[in-house]
Amino acid sequence: MSAHCQLTGAQPGFGNNISHSHRRTSRRFDPNIQRKRYWLPSEGRHVRLMISARAIKTIDSTGVEAAVARIRARGERV
């Protein structure tokens, strides 16, 4: 499962863990990716999306039809 949001395009960020002695080691900041199923009325079927928690709030406000249109405009298959 890749840490990539289909709607917003959010990907992992990279940085450092800094210990008490100030040694630095690599770390990864993953977005909060959820696998969520939505009903798409125009096609009469469910779609399963891998989206971030922020994208879920976006879909709640704009609607699933607009979100799927944005995903398809980016060239991803739904």
User: What is the per-residue DSSP string for 12-62?
Assistant: -EEEEEE-TT--EEEEEE---EEEEEEEETTTTEEEEEEEEHHHHHHHHHH
pLDDT in tens, 17-38: 999 999 999 999 999 999 999 9
Predicted TM-score (pTM) above 0.95: no
pLDDT of residue 1: 55
pLDDT in tens, 41-66: 999 999 999 999 999 999 999 999 99
* 2 pLDDT tier (thresholds 50, 70, 90): confident
C-alpha 8: how far from chain center: 6
Given a contact cutoff of 8 angstroms between Cβ atoms, the answer to whether 56 and 36 are in contact is: yes
